[in-house]
Structure formats: C-alpha cells, structure tokens
C-alpha cells in the first residue's frame, strides 16, 4: 500500500501586531492553514491560542444548570412515559427499551424518521461516567429502530446516530440522550464524503480511509489507538476543537455494527469521553457518517464517526461557531491535533 497518496498540506501565515500584553512591542503570531486531505476543506489553527492556559471547568455553574433543569425534566423516569411520544401502531414497540436506555419519536422532528434515545435514568453524567455498556445498550436500541424503519420503508437507508451533549452543543434537554435520524438521501456532508472517497478511489486505485488509517498509524502523531476494527485518530484539519475521528475498517454502513464492532466502538467512545473529561470538556457533538444500509461501499468508503468539543455550559459563554464556521465553512480551532492525540492516547 502506498500511503504517500494522502497529502497533509499546510501553510503558515503570520499576523504582526504591537501587543499591549508586551509593552506594545512587535509580536508575530503564526497561523496554520490546513486542508482536509479528502475534501480540501480548509481550517485555521492559531498556535498562540493553543498555548493559552485552559480555564478550569466552572463546576458550580454546571451544577446550577443541572439542578435547575432536573425539576421539570421530560426524560427523567417520573415524567418520561407521561410526556414523551410513542411510535405509531405500525411499529412493533411503542418505545424501544434496551437495558436502561429508552427510545421514542422526537416530538419536534426534522425528518420523517427522527427519534430520541435516552441513555439511562440518570439526569446528568460526567463524561467519565459513560461506560461502554451504557453506550452499547442505547446504540443497540438505535440499530433496532433503524431496522424497524427499513423493514417498513426500504427507501430509508441512510442511518445516523447523532449526539448533542449540553446546551452549548445544541441540546435543548440536559438529560443525556442521542438523536437518531434515518433518511432516503445522504446529508450534504455525507454526500461530499462518499463522493470524494469515490473520486479518490478512481484516481488512486485505493480506499482513502484505509490509506488514512495506514498513514496515521505509521506517522503516529495523530494516532490515538484501536478498539477492534475501529481506529481512533485526531483529524489533520479539524472542523471543531478537540476533533476525534473513528474509522471502522472494513465496513461502510452502520448496520454492520450489529454483528461486529458495536462493543468495540462503545469501548473507544467511552475512552475518548474519559479523555475529554480529563481535558475539562463538558459539552460536545458526535455523529456517524454511514453509507446506505443496503449497499456495500467498503471498496472505497468506510463508516466513520466524529466528535468535537463545544464551549463549557455557563451563563454567558462565547460560542465557537462564528462567521468563519457558520458562513465561510472554514473552522478556526485552538487545539493542535497532534497535542490532542498525545493526551487522549493515555486512555487507550
Ligand atoms: Zn432528567
């Protein structure tokens, strides 16, 4: 396998300013501009920002947010059955239950098949408290839902497990939960990933994801670890702070996890969340990018998942999603992927 096919391109820009922090002396700040090797999408890393000392987690603010939201929580056990929707009669179960996890339709869906999976009765869990078993029960429920949808609607073949954790990540409910979306068409991003992977295959004659795993394993700087068939990496050109990518070697669709790899994925995810906790992360997004459930694209595409951290919950926080991210689709991050990989590796 030739791994040199993947180009990790970066350039450095320099910003010059007379800094009030150094008696208005001239200072230069380097900014790395990196390109994602698959899509060409750019991101910027301000190396100075990465050196800033991390603020410690505001434990008391977090406790206040958790306590205030507990009183009328829709997902706590005393309310869940009274206030959450049920699947319609043509589905075999009104709510899907696996271990402590409970899944039901989203009350305010943005797709024909949009459900919610509550992990457990616990209203709040720190990121080091998501055990592999807790994750696996819920994700097993997700796969069961997707299969029930597909049996009834064979055209619904793009399945995603999505997670907004805490309000800065877009969660309207604090109680830990995932969102399941199943669609007839890929999302714009998934479309780009699959299309770019196919172009890479046509151009280079190999699977981009397999080449990426090999290149990162050899290079080592961004390699975090392996759990069974799942390889955990930090992204060369991240789309968010503390971005971690999981690549499922050999599988293009999430349906494959049912027989092989779900436990391994949950093991790695649990470890990553422990690492996030140690870094002081309290809020994050996760999603899976799965090919269609009824086709095997593994010749050129592998199922993958991504996590990015978000600002910690507090009353007046600054969003990390500004004009560059929202409108130019170019991310400014303050974490070096190589430093992050080094820190997370301890948990694998
Ligand atoms: Zn709750």
Summarised one tens digit per residue, pLDDT across range 199-216 is 999 999 999 999 999 999
Q: How far is CA 24 from CA 17, 97, 135, 309, 331, in A?
A: 8, 62, 52, 34, 29
CA of 37 from ligand 1 middle (Å) equals: 41
Give me ligand 1 centre to Cα 318, in Å.
Answer: 26
**Residues 111 and 39 occupy one common structural domain:** no
Per the domain annotation, does 296 fall within a domain? yes
Distance, CA 238 to ligand 1 centroid (Å)?
A: 32
Q: Determine the distance separating the centroid of ligand 1 and the alpha carbon of 122, expressed in angstroms.
A: 7
Ligand 1 center to residue 158 CA distance, Å?
29
pLDDT at 52: 60
**Is the pLDDT assigned to residue 177 strictly greater than 50?**
yes
- Give residue 44's pLDDT band: very low, low, confident or very high (50, 70, 90): very high
Question: Strand 331-333 vs strand 42-46: parallel, antiparallel, or unpaired?
Answer: parallel
My answer on whether 173 and 287 are in the same domain is yes
Based on the fold, state whether residues 187 and 242 are members of the same structural domain: yes
Tell me, letter by letter, the H, E, C secondary structure of the chain. CCCCCCCCCEEEEEEEEEEHHHCCEEEEEEEEEEECCCCCCEEEEEHHHHHCCCCCCCHHHHHHHHHHHHCCCCCCHHHHHHHCCCCCCCCCCCCEEECCEEEEECCCCCCCEEEEEECCCCCCCCHHHCCHHHHHHHHHHHHHHHHHHHHHCCCCCEEEEEEEECHHHCCCCCCCEEEEEEECCCCHHHHHHHHHHHHHHHHHCCCHHHHHHHHHHHHCCCEEEEECCEEEEECCCCCCCCCEEEEECCCCCHHHHHCCCHHHHHHHHHHHHHHHHHHCCCCEEEEEECCCCCCCCCCCCCCEEEEEECCCCCCCCCCCCCHHHHCCCCEEECCCHHHHHHHHHCCC
Note the pLDDT of residue 50: 62
pLDDT digits over 235-245, tens only? 999 999 999 99
> Has residue 2 been placed in a domain?
no
Query: Among 69-73, 146-150, 229-233, 282-286, where is mean pLDDT lowest?
Result: 69-73
Distance 281 CA to ligand 1 centre (A): 20
Whether 109 and 20 share a structural domain: no
Percent of the chain with pLDDT over 90: 87
90-136 residue pLDDT tens: 999 999 999 999 999 999 999 999 999 999 999 999 999 999 999 99
Q: Which domain does 304 fall in, by range?
A: 59-345
Q: For residue 105, what is the domain's CATH number?
A: 3.30.428.10
State in Å: Cα 58 to ligand 1 middle. Answer: 21
Distance 73 CA to ligand 1 centre (A): 4
Confidence at residue 316, expressed as pLDDT on a 0 to 100 scale: 80
Ligand 1 geometric centre to CA of 111 (Å): 25
- 181 CA to centre of ligand 1 in angstroms: 22
Same domain, 40 and 73: no
Overall number of domains in the chain: 2
Of the chain, the end-to-end C-alpha distance in Å amounts to: 26
Residues 17 and 141 in one domain: no
Distance of CA 127 from the midpoint of ligand 1 (Å): 16
Q: Is residue 142 part of a domain?
A: yes
Asked if residue 209 is part of any domain, the answer here is yes
Predicted local confidence at residue 51, as pLDDT: 62
Q: What is the pTM of this model?
A: 0.94
pLDDT at 1: 46
In this prediction, residue 54 carries a pLDDT of 52
114 and 201 share one domain: yes
320 or 290, which is more confident: 290
Same domain, 17 and 107: no
Q: Residue 82 CB: number of other CB atoms within 10 A? A: 7
Which bin fits 89, alpha (ψ -120 to 50), beta or left (φ > 0)?
Answer: alpha
pLDDT given at position 53:
52
Radius of gyration of the chain, Cα coordinates, nearest whole angstrom: 21
Residue 2 has pLDDT above 50, yes or no: no
What spacing in Å lies between the alpha carbon of 171 and ligand 1's midpoint? Answer: 13
What average pLDDT is seen over the chain? Answer: 94
| CA 91 / ligand 1 centre spacing (Å) | 26
Structural domain includes residue 54: no
- For residue 68, report the distance from its CA to the centre of ligand 1, in Å: 10
């Amino acid at each position: 396998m030739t791994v040199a096919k993947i180009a990790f391109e970066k350039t450095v820009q320099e910003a010059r300013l007379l800094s009030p922090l150094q008696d208005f002396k001239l200072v230069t700040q380097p900014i790395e501009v990196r390109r994602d090797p698959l899509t060409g999408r750019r991101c910027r890393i301000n190396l100075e920002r990465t050196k800033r000392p991390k603020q410690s987690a505001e434990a008391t603010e977090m406790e206040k947010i958790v306590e205030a939201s507990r009183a009328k929580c829709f997902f706590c056990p005393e309310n869940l059955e009274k206030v959450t929707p049920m699947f319609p009669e043509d589905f075999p179960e009104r709510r899907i239950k696996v271990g402590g996890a409970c899944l039901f339709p989203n009350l305010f869906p943005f797709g024909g098949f949009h459900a919610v999976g509550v992990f457990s009765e616990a209203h709040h869990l720190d990121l080091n408290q998501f055990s592999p078993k807790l994750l696996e029960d819920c994700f097993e429920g997700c796969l069961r839902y997707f299969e029930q949808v597909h049996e009834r609607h064979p055209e619904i073949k793009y399945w995603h497990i999505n997670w907004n954790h805490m309000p800065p990540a877009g969660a309207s409910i604090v109680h830990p939960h995932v969102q399941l979306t199943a669609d007839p068409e890929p999302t714009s991003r998934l479309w780009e990933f699959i299309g770019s992977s196919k172009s890479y295959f046509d151009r280079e004659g190999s699977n981009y994801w397999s080449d990426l795993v090999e290149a990162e394993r050899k290079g080592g700087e961004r390699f975090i670890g392996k759990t069974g068939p799942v390889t955990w990496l930090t992204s060369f050109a991240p789309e968010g702070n503390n971005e971690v990518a999981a690549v499922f070697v050999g599988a293009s669709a999430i349906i494959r996890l049912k027989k092989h790899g779900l436990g391994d994925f949950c093991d790695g995810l649990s470890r990553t969340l422990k690492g996030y906790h140690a870094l002081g992360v309290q809020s994050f997004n996760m999603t899976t990018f799965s090919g269609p459930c009824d086709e095997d694209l593994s010749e050129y595409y592998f199922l993958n998942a991504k996590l990015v951290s978000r600002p910690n919950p507090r009353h007046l926080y600054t969003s990390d999603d500004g004009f560059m991210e929202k409108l130019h689709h170019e991310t400014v991050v303050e974490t070096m992927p190589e430093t992050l990989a080094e820190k997370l590796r301890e948990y694998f």
